[in-house]
């Protein structure tokens, strides 16, 4: 089919030339919280998550230093931190904070502020999430990964933490036992939460129909070979997914969105002569989509290789020099971008109950979307550089502009027409005349005249969440409702953010004076008065949670709420930490939810089975557990 190329002007136009449009904003009828102005010269700051921050500056007249601010507002000075380092983030359930100076790492204990020198020594620093995932991979792997990647002390690295709906999602790079068709020997593994749940992200395609001059076939993954028979000949088709250009999860998006390159390869069966085992890259010659709707998705555009591994998305190395690659054999040491099309993959964060590849868990669902409209007309992506946040595209060209005066946004509609899945830009949004902007973790925010606006994707509008000093000229944000703002020249700063416990509490049902019909019960006060209270979760003035049954009494013992087990003590208060029920030990998280699998409690590992019971005097995944349940190192 003849294809036309459309331009996504809102993603390509420079910030200064965008037509001004006013974004939808919710009316403000409530009094906003005004953040306290604190004195201190801040040189850099980072909003980490759930009430945690890190700053470099002169606080309360002290000399320049790094400070970690915990979710209780305590300032912990990072001892002997190298000034000017980049703040990376928190690790191992907020136990350690990492600063970076290029490739040099500085680790700090957040409880004491002391530097942790020997970070690879398990006795010094127990790399909780990485260790947990390695244990699970060691048990599951049946030849996909290099064995050394999960049997030695190497910490597999990736893009780090991704913003996630709950629990956190982290990306790891694991060396493959065998390279793929074009020489990539690294697989992306996503750890969901901290309990060992994971998915492998480089296998599934969903279902893509590939139409060639010899016929068509549905291609479902990157490992199998798919055959097409034509005039007595058999042809083999393979798909190749390259490493993600970026991966992200939105605050309201339970899946992982991956922006990456896809290529299609073809050979005559049995012909392994030439490069790539006889396969030819035919991405520019085939049509993709569904059997009923398939189109040529390739367009000739500059192809660059980032040969410096500096993480840039624009195909340039750290000096800004890009390298153009012809659609020919790729030279050794250069990333093999070749002929490809850009696609979005939306993969579930929930593992499949039945599907694995070489023992490694696969996502429950995977969908691959093309950057084209319903008729296969491509959107010009030769300079498309954007971040996906809750289905919104934000132009990186604008975002990276120093002190931008406007930011272009466009909603990305995920559509499916008779099996043909495509991403289509929707309404243009431009935010201008603001003081400061940040994309945030799935919720873009900007400051205008001292009001902090946060984008609410469910309502498709911006709402005011805080008031800060109009003198603030820099901000950093992370999870919903969290911000740190500062002005270095004025020597002032402000911050606000909920702890994880407070966030969980804000999402749970609160007691009300009068409950809704059918969801209330009568309770008697100490004075003998009858009042109406809500059923379900309620908290008292000490933030202790209880569960009110329909008869108005507090639940006691084990409670299953929407598939999650909680334990209510004799006084009805929700339990946390270790409990002993009828001689069996169980572990309950800070949210009260019963945990299973490997559990790290203050540096000691335990294992609880699927029913939550702690195991002892046994071996799990090759690790010996002692009489007290602790891992015997």
Task: Look at residue 255 and tell me whether its pLDDT is greater than 90.
Answer: no
Residue 398 has pLDDT above 70, yes or no: no
- Element holding 283 (H helix, E strand): none
Cα separation, 275 vs 187, whole angstroms: 22
pLDDT value of residue 108: 93
Decide if 57 is inside a domain: no
- Per the document, the length of the chain is 633
Q: Taking residues 89-93, what's their average pLDDT?
A: 75
- Please enumerate in sequence order all residues whose Cβ is within 8 A of that of 199, keeping only pairs 6 or more positions apart, or say none: 189, 190, 192, 347, 348, 349, 350, 351, 361, 362, 363
Q: Which of residues 4 and 385 earns the better pLDDT score?
A: 385
Q: What are phi and psi of 360, to 5 degrees?
A: -90, 135
Q: 339, 283 in Cβ contact below 8 A? A: yes
Domain with residue 609: its CATH number is 2.10.270.10
What is the tens place of the pLDDT at every residue in 263-276?
999 999 999 998 88
pTM: 0.59
Instruction: Kindly report, residue by residue over 441-482, the tens digit of the pLDDT.
Output: 556 777 888 888 877 655 666 778 888 888 888 888 876 678
Q: Which of 386, 405, 431 corresponds to the end of one domain?
A: 386
Lowest mean pLDDT, pick from 37-51, 52-66, 381-395, 497-511? 381-395
Range of the domain at 224: 151-306+324-386
Domain boundary among 370, 386, 402: 386
Does residue 450 form part of some domain?
Answer: no
Neighbours of 299 (CB within 10 A): 18
Residues 379 and 508 in one domain: no
Residue that the structure tokens 């013992």 belong to: 557
- pLDDT of 26 > 60? The answer is no
330 in a structural domain: yes
Mean pLDDT of 205-217: 95
Tens of pLDDT, residues 547-571: 888 778 889 999 888 778 899 998 8
Name, in order, each residue with C-beta under 8 angstroms of 596's C-beta and a sequence gap of 6 or more: 195, 608, 609, 610, 611, 612
For residue 501, pLDDT beyond 60? no
Please indicate, yes or no, whether residues 164 and 290 belong to a single structural domain of this protein: yes
CA distance 8 to 12: 7
Report if residue 283 sits inside a domain.
yes
Per cent of the chain over pLDDT 90 is 27
Residue in this structure with the two tokens 């605050």, named with its chain if needed: 251
Task: In whole angstroms, give the CA distance from residue 427 to residue 590.
Answer: 41
Q: Residue 459: inside a domain, yes or no?
A: no
Q: Can you give the pLDDT at residue 287? A: 93
**pLDDT tens digit string along 300-327?**
544 333 333 333 333 333 333 322 222 2
- Among 109-118, 493-502, 522-531, 576-585, which is the least confidently predicted range? 522-531
Q: What is the pLDDT of residues 333-373, one digit of tens each?
A: 333 446 888 888 999 888 998 999 999 999 999 999 998 88
Instruction: Give the total number of structural domains in the chain.
Output: 2
Structure letter (DSSP) for residue 203: S
Pair 518, 378 in one domain: no
pLDDT grade for 29, boundaries at 50, 70 and 90: very low
Note whether 335 and 202 are same-domain residues. yes
What contacts 364, CB < 8 A, 6 or more positions away?
348, 350, 351, 352, 353
> In the 8-state DSSP scheme, what is residue 26?
-
Residues facing 227 on adjacent strands = 236
* 511-531 mean pLDDT: 34
Domain shared by 508 and 372, yes or no: no
- Name which residue leads in pLDDT, 27 or 122: 27
Q: What is the 3-state secondary structure (H, E, C) of 488-554?
A: CCCCEEEEECCCHHHHHHHHCCCCCCCCCCCCEEEEECCCCCEEEEECEEEECCCCCEEEECCCCCE
Note whether residue 254 is domain-resident: yes
């Amino acid at each position: 089919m003849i294809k036309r190329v459309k331009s996504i002007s809102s993603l390509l136009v420079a910030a200064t030339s965008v037509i001004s449009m006013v974004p939808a904003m919710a009316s403000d009828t409530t009094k906003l919280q005004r953040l306290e102005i604190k004195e201190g010269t801040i040189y850099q700051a980072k909003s980490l998550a759930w009430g945690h921050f890190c700053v470099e500056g002169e606080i309360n007249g002290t000399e320049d230093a790094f400070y970690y601010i915990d979710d209780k507002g305590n300032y912990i000075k990072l001892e002997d931190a190298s000034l000017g380092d980049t703040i990376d983030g928190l690790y191992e359930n907020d136990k350690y904070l990492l600063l970076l100076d290029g490739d040099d790492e500085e680790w700090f204990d957040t409880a004491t502020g002391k530097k942790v020198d020997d970070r690879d020594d398990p006795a010094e620093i127990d790399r909780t999430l990485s260790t947990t995932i390695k244990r699970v991979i060691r048990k599951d792997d049946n030849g996909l990964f290099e064995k050394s990647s999960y049997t030695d002390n190497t910490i597999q690295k990736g893009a780090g933490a991704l913003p996630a709906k709950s629990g956190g999602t982290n990306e790891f790079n694991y060396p493959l036992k065998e390279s793929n068709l074009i020489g990539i020997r690294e697989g992306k593994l996503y750890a969901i939460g901290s309990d060992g749940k994971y998915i492998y992200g480089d296998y599934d395609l969903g279902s893509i129909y590939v139409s060639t001059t010899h016929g068509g076939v549905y291609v479902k993954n990157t490992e199998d070979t798919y055959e097409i028979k034509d005039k007595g000949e058999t042809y083999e088709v393979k798909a190749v997914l390259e490493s993600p250009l970026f991966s992200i999860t939105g605050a309201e998006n339970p899946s992982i969105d991956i922006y990456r390159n896809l290529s299609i390869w073809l050979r005559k069966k049995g012909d392994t002569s030439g490069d790539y085992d006889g396969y030819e890259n035919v991405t520019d010659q085939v049509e993709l989509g569904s059997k009923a709707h398939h189109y040529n998705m390739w367009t000739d555009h500059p192809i660059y290789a980032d040969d410096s591994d500096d993480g840039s998305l624009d195909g340039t190395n750290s000096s800004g020099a890009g390298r153009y690659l012809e659609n020919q054999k790729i030279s050794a040491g250069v990333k093999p971008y070749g002929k490809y099309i850009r696609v979005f993959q939306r993969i579930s964060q929930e593992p499949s109950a039945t599907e694995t590849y070489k023992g490694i868990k696969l996502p429950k669902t995977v969908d691959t979307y093309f950057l084209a409209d319903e008729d296969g007309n491509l959107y010009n992506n030769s300079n498309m550089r954007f971040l996906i946040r809750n289905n919104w595209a934000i132009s990186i060209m604008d975002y990276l502009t120093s002190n931008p005066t406007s930011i272009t946004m466009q909603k990305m509609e995920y559509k499916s027409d008779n099996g043909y899945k495509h991403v289509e830009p929707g309404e243009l949004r431009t935010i201008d005349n603001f003081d400061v902007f940040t994309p945030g973790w799935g919720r873009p925010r900007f400051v205008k005249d001292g009001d902090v606006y946060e984008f609410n994707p469910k309502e498709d509008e911006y709402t005011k969440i805080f008031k800060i000093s109009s003198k603030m000229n820099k901000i950093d944000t992370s999870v919903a409702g969290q911000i740190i703002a500062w002005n270095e020249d004025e020597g002032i700063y402000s911050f606000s953010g909920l702890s994880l416990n407070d966030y969980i509490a804000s999402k749970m049902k609160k007691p009300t004076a009068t409950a809704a019909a059918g969801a209330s019960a009568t309770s008697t006060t100490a004075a003998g008065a009858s009042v109406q209270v809500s059923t379900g979760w309620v908290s008292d003035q000490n933030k202790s949670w209880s569960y009110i049954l329909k008869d108005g009494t507090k639940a006691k013992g084990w409670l299953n709420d929407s598939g999650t087990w909680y334990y209510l003590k004799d006084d009805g208060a929700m339990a946390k930490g270790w409990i002993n029920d009828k001689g069996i030990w169980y572990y309950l998280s800070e949210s009260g939810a019963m945990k299973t699998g490997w559990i790290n409690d203050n540096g000691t590992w335990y294992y609880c089975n699927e029913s939550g019971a702690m195991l002892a005097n046994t071996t799990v995944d090759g690790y010996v557990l002692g009489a007290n349940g602790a891992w015997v190192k």
